[in-house]
Amino acid sequence: MIKIESLEYQYEDGTEALKNINLDLEKGNTIGVVGANGSGKSTLFLSIIGILKPTKGQIKYKDKTIKYNKKFLRQYRKKVNMVFQDPDKQLFFSKVYDDVAFPLRNLGLSEEKVVKKVEKALKMVNAYDLKDKPTHFLSYGEKKRISIAGILAMDLDLILLDEPTNGLDPYMTKEVKRIIEELSQEKKIVLSSHDMDLIYEVCDYVYILGKGEILGEGSPEDVFLRDDLLKKACLERPWLVKAHQELGLPLCKNEKQLFQWKGKDYEKGDYSS
Ligand SMILES: Nc1ncnc2c1ncn2[C@@H]1O[C@H](COP(=O)(O)OP(=O)(O)OP(=O)(O)O)[C@@H](O)[C@H]1O
């Protein structure tokens, strides 16, 4: 659906944030983009939604090169949009409900449809109770969930999530993981994260960025077994990969699989030895 060809992006001060990026988002349904601080992940996402215009190269959506005029971008962002790393960049209204409803009202949907979509999105992120709360009273984790709900309420083809678990506690991190897994049943998702466990478990294809370049790509099982690649990109191995390499355990996709291999009932919290 989206192809990126020979993309380069240079900031005004001369920083070459992206160099010769080639990416095909048909290669997976939940795609991870990982890289150390400053490797270019946010710049890439901002380029994909057309906020940054490439210095060179192009982005194709459904085989057509995206354009940078207001009319095109307004239509494009109804189908391809992102949840920003910082929720304060996304929440504008004083009340949670109005924030999630805004893009839908903007599309001219009837208030009846708006109510349905907003309620569904808020329930999906377990934030329905917050609907009447002023956004400025929300905790950081709650703001993150509301900004995700705002994107879920829209009928997008592709959702980009920039560091969705950044700054969240372990419980909320699990919640966001659940949301991504649920969402990926219906939508294409691209997410960036410093949490290699999350990327390994939820993604089916991974791009590794380093200093604005793609250093490697492939299935999570392939890329995370490549020590040389991880070292070059300054990335850690997911714990399930470590357990496989260091303890000789089978390479499991998630905790549940590992428990099942051990004959434990994961759902019942069977932690006995
Ligand atoms: N507005 C800007 N002007 C100049 N340089 C910038 C600007 N924004 C980002 N950069 C630079 O571009 C490079 C890529 O930054 P980017 O924010 O895309 O990386 P990132 O992988 O998202 O980092 P992080 O993991 O820390 O969020 C960095 O060297 C950064 O300093």
User: What mean pLDDT, rounded, does the chain reach?
Assistant: 92
| Ligand 1 centroid distance, CA of 65 (Å) | 25
> Does residue 31 sit within a domain?
yes
In our burial notation (b when 16+ CB lie closer than 10 A, e otherwise), range 191-211 reads: bbbbbbbbbbbbbebbbbbbb
Give, as one character, the DSSP assignment of residue 194: S
CA distance 43 to 53: 10
What token pair was written down for 243?
């357990």
In our burial notation (b when 16+ CB lie closer than 10 A, e otherwise), range 70-94 reads: eeebeebbeebbbbbbbbeebbeee
> Does residue 90 sit within a domain?
no
Q: Is the CB of 272 under 6 A from ligand 1?
A: no
> Does residue 157 sit within a domain?
no
Mutate to test the pocket of ligand 1, among 9, 10, 37 (most ligand atoms within 8 A of CB): 37
Structural domain containing residue 241: 2-79+190-260
User: Which pLDDT score, from 0 to 100, does residue 270 have?
Assistant: 66
Residue 266 has pLDDT above 70, yes or no: no
Domain count, the chain: 1
Residue whose CA lies nearest to ligand 1 atom number 7: 11
Chain centroid offset of residue 86 CA: 13
Residue 271 has pLDDT above 70, yes or no: no
Per residue in 123-141, pLDDT (tens digit) is: 988 899 999 999 999 998 8
The pLDDT of 166-186, averaged and rounded, is: 88
Quote the pTM value.
0.92
CB 254: neighbour CB atoms within 10 A?
16
The enclosing domain of 209 has a CATH number of 3.40.50.300
> Does residue 114 sit within a domain?
no
Sorted by sequence, the CB contacts under 8 Å of residue 31 that are 6+ apart come out as 25, 188, 189, 190, 191, 203, 204, 205, 206, 207
> Does residue 154 sit within a domain?
no
Residue whose CA lies nearest to ligand 1 atom number 1: 11
Mutate to test the pocket of ligand 1, among 19, 41, 162, 194 (most ligand atoms within 8 A of CB): 41
What token pair was written down for 161?
């999530």
The SS3 assignment for 8 reads: strand
The pLDDT of 27-50, averaged and rounded, is: 96
> Does residue 273 sit within a domain?
no
CA-163 nearest atom, ligand 1: 27
The pLDDT of 220-246, averaged and rounded, is: 95
CA distance 168 to 266: 24
Q: Is the CB of 40 under 6 A from ligand 1?
A: yes
Listed as own residue / partner, the contacts of 131-139 with beta carbons closer than 8 Å and 24 or more positions apart are 131/96, 131/97, 132/95, 132/96, 132/97, 133/95, 133/96, 134/94, 134/95, 134/96, 135/91, 135/93, 135/94, 135/95, 135/96, 135/99, 136/94, 138/96
Q: Are 130 and 80 in contact (CB under 8 A)?
A: no
CA-194 nearest atom, ligand 1: 25
Q: Is the CB of 39 under 6 A from ligand 1?
A: yes
CA-45 nearest atom, ligand 1: 18
> Does residue 161 sit within a domain?
no
> Does residue 202 sit within a domain?
yes
Per residue in 65-109, pLDDT (tens digit) is: 999 999 999 999 999 999 999 988 888 878 999 999 998 998 888
- Place 27 in a pLDDT band, splitting at 50, 70 and 90: very high
